Structure 1
Amino acid sequence: MAFTIRQLSSSTVPGGIPTCITYPNPAEGLTANFELKSGLLHRLPTFYGLSMEDPNQHLMEFQFICLSMKPHLVDENILKLKACPFSLTDKAKQWLYELPSGHITSWDDMMKAFLDKYFPTSRIIMLRKKISGIQQGVDESYADYHERFKSFLAQCPQHGMKDETLLTCFYEGLTNLERDMLDAASGGSFMDKQPAAGMALIQSRASNQQQYGGIRSTTHEIHGVNEVSTFAHLEDKINKLTSLVSQVVTTKGQTMACGVCSMQGHAADQCPQLMENEGVNAIGFQQGQNRRRNDPFSNTYNEGWRNHLNFHWRDNDNVQGVAPNANYNRAPPSFFQKTQAPLNSTPLNSSSSSSSNNNSDEIIKMLATSNQTLVQGQNLIQNMMEEMEKQLGKWLII
């Protein structure tokens, strides 16, 4: 039967669209005729084909789910081949569709093609360098260092390094203290151990620190915070007390403040303001010595008004020769001159100096108390350090 040009140029493909997967024959006693359940498909991990994703972890999780949900008498490899396309999406699924027809004939072929694409040799070399050059951080615990080492191994199961090489890299990356502790736990030298015994020992040490080291380290951190805050508080108090003592000493070495002008450097009875007023009064007395005694504008202010002809009065009402009802000679109500305290009073100066001495004694007592508290804090820290050394010795023995 001859085909026409239209039939030959049609878009149909004989035998259907070719696929990259060719399913193998099932193993003896197993079947390849089964249906993928929706529960299995919904639990499969998803791989997008991004550079930040871990292809080895995806394959590990995928195999766990397929093994745990495998139907009875179903070939395991065929189940993985059928379920694998449902775990890929976006760029990863497009990559699978672009593989040549019949390129994959077994589950091993699928894993090899997948890892060649998303876990190339350059990435393996990079992780090998991380494993061989691993170093424990200054603030990193032994358990965290061991977990980071295992994480590198899990990310690169294709590292191809032997156990003795891995143990050597792990041992050389430890800090000096942790290396000495590992040697002590080995009963001599860690490098004298067999590879299997060495792997068991580093795992055992990490497990012990995770179980019992967390409480001790947490307690130490809490005490450390308390110690830092306590020392900061004591240091602040000592600084304040030192400042107060220096102020008191400076005040004692200086002249007391004047009671008239509140200035330092001279006594109250030698205040320049008083000296100036006395000079002015003396000059005024000399210039006005010819004034009348009754002049209200004289320097003797109260006496001038008292003896004035029209405004004079007397203190004593019972003066002889004056009638009792003569009110003109009485002093006006509330017209009395207030008495002023002396400018330089000796009791005031003595009281201020005594109060200053009392303040100095109190400050010295406070400073002695703070120093005693600081010494107690240092003794407490010393006891804590001795207790930590004892606990460390017990742990090394274990």
Structure 2
Amino acid sequence: MALTIRQLSTSVIPPGGIPTCITYPDAVEGATADFELKSGLLHRLPTIYGLSMEDPNQHLMEFQFICTSMTPQGADEQILKLKAFPFSLADKAKQWLYELPSGCSTSWADIMKAFLEKYFPTSCIIMLRKKISGIQQGQDESYAEYYERFKTLITQCPQHGMKNETLLTCFYDGLTNLERDMLDAASGGSFVDKEPAAGMVLIENRALNQQQYGCSKSTHTREKVHEGMKGQVMACGVCSMQEHMSDQCPQLMEGGNFEGVNALGFQQEYQRPRNDPYSNTYNPGWRDHPNFRWRDNENAQQASQALNQRPPGFFPKPQAPLNPTSFNTSNSNSNASSSNDELIKALAKSTQALLAGQNNHERQINTIGTDMAEMKKQMSQVVEFMGKFHE
């Protein structure tokens, strides 16, 4: 009887089940292929998704370590890996496995080769080989950190194909001058005179000793920063330059604008000279001051002029600062220019600085007034005393 179109179009599973890329080999003598994968094993397997940032060599290393550690008693280890490997793949990586030709893998070595050809091609091997051969220790990198980075590159590329003596030469050439000299000293002469096996042990022991007893990277970095900060000058608060202090900024002193400096509160404290009559403290040097010699009327006039003379460092009270609100436009248009807003903020900030300077000057004026009043009182006492003395 002829088959109908419906019957011919129906999917029929071929003999032997669904095709698969993995064909299990016969178990080795003394082992069996008839065993069940335990859930404890499957839950501990690493997972790879087939992304470019993943490390396929590390995945294989972790996978084999777990399978070797958790092989059921009597089970063939190679067959165990072939059965468990699909459970360590996800997303793109699992789709790659399904797309392999049927029966192409008959051993664990076949699966590893196909997997690395897909996710660790020759271009990756060449790139990592260049990194190993051209490795250089950083200026802020300790010897132990440099050694760990060197080991990581070798682990990422076990297919580098470089001999141990070549690896040791690359490691030695990449050291800083100081670390290379220290490694030579630890070798009792020259490191390159060591045998490869002894050289491997030496560089590993040096890294281990530094990790146990050496300083950490953070401590090394803090020392570098501390040394770099020595001798630095505090930056100017006006122009952010380090060549001068804020009270010596050229932008403020251009054209003799000392009042602007004073208004911003950057004026240095005035150092009163010896025999200064404006000081509010007793100074034994007053007796030598020329204004206190009352031999004639000229000295008295000079003393009177000294009272009215403006002291050095005294500046007139600055004019009232502009009101920042005067810059606000009466137009309530919400689409005002952002540059005008920034200008208003800058002017308001400058106004606050001027107000602070004005308050500082008012306190200075009050202090000077008090000093002058006290001085007048003392001078009147001196005049009275000298008058009695001449009588």
TM tier relative to shorter chain? 0.5 to 0.7
Shift of 1:68: 1.1
Shift of 1:8: 3.5
Equivalent residue number for residue 273 of structure 2 = 252
Contact 1:256 1:267 in 2 (8 A): no
Contact 1:269 1:343 in 2 (8 A): no
Shift of 1:139: 1.0
CA RMSD, aligned part only? 3.7
Equivalent residue number for residue 14 of structure 1 = 14
Equivalent residue number for residue 142 of structure 1 = 143
**Alignment CA distance shift 1:135-1:268 (3 Å):** same
Greater Rg over alpha carbons, structure:
1
Shift of 1:247: 5.4
> C-alpha distance in 2, partners of 1:227/1:126?
37
**Alignment CA distance shift 1:3-1:135 (3 Å):** same
Is there any run of 5+ residues in structure 2 with no aligned partner, and where? 233-244, 246-267, 281-290, 292-300, 310-372, 383-391
> C-alpha distance in 2, partners of 1:107/1:341?
104
**Alignment CA distance shift 1:140-1:267 (3 Å):** farther
Is there any run of 5+ residues in structure 1 with no aligned partner, and where? 233-239, 241-245, 260-264, 275-339, 350-398
SS in 2 for 1:269: helix
Contact 1:49 1:92 in 2 (8 A): yes
> C-alpha distance in 2, partners of 1:124/1:342?
90
Identity %: 68
> C-alpha distance in 2, partners of 1:348/1:25?
125
Q: Does 1:78 align with 2:79?
A: yes
Mapping for residues 328-343 of structure 1, pairs under 5 Å: 343=376
Mapping for residues 1-398 of structure 1, pairs under 5 Å: 5-15=5-15, 16-214=17-215, 250-252=271-273, 256-257=277-278, 268-270=303-305, 343=376, 345-346=378-379
**Alignment CA distance shift 1:44-1:252 (3 Å):** same
SS in 2 for 1:180: helix
**Which amino acid in 2 is paired with 1:269?**
S
Shift of 1:254: 9.1
TM-score by length of 1: 0.59
Shift of 1:104: 1.0
**Alignment CA distance shift 1:199-1:113 (3 Å):** same
SS in 1 for 2:52: coil
SS in 2 for 1:252: coil
> C-alpha distance in 1, partners of 2:380/2:304?
14
**Alignment CA distance shift 1:226-1:347 (3 Å):** farther
SS in 1 for 2:158: coil
Shift of 1:53: 0.7
Shift of 1:231: 9.3
> C-alpha distance in 1, partners of 2:116/2:128?
15
**Alignment CA distance shift 1:135-1:2 (3 Å):** same
> C-alpha distance in 2, partners of 1:119/1:342?
92
SS in 2 for 1:345: helix
**Which amino acid in 2 is paired with 1:84?**
F
**Which amino acid in 2 is paired with 1:108?**
A
**Which amino acid in 2 is paired with 1:50?**
L
**Alignment CA distance shift 1:39-1:272 (3 Å):** closer
**Which amino acid in 2 is paired with 1:343?**
K
> C-alpha distance in 1, partners of 2:224/2:118?
51
TM-score by length of 2: 0.60
Contact 1:131 1:152 in 2 (8 A): yes
Deviation sequence 1:74-107 (CA, Å, 0-9, x none):
0000000000011111111111111111111110
> C-alpha distance in 2, partners of 1:342/1:218?
61
**Alignment CA distance shift 1:124-1:348 (3 Å):** farther
**Alignment CA distance shift 1:228-1:190 (3 Å):** closer
**Alignment CA distance shift 1:258-1:111 (3 Å):** closer
